[in-house]
Structure 1
Amino acid sequence: MAARAHTRSNPPASGVDVRLPWWAIALPAIAFAVLLVLIAGPGEAQAAGGDPAVTHLMERIQQSLSRQG
């Protein structure tokens, strides 16, 4: 005996309504920034003349990531 297939009573909407959580955008952006800093290296980051606090933070992140690997 064949099973009946479930059919929709309402047709699909023409517009797509996709809602992403905040972290679905934030996490890839943060990961991209961290990888960019890791590729640039601490020497180039200091040569750019940026804020020393940001440079120090990025160096600490790089150090903590290199310890885990």
Structure 2
Amino acid sequence: MSAPMHTRPHSAPRDGLDIRLPWWALALPTLAFVVLLALILNPTDAQAATGDPAVTRLFEHVQQLISR
């Protein structure tokens, strides 16, 4: 005797894809991006780095915009 199979009703239109992601599928990459951006923009770790002054000014401007 086989067990009954439970299926979901198809309420999505047939002409497009119905892709549903869990909340963490967007939250985790966003969190990782913010953490990496904060590591890049951390001024205490950037003392030994020498680079193009224009790039440095750009990073400082972005950091000021984020900290507001």
TM-score (norm 1): 0.43
Identify the structure with the greater helix proportion. Answer: 1
TM-score (norm 2): 0.44
Larger RCO (alpha carbons 8 Å, 6+ apart): 2
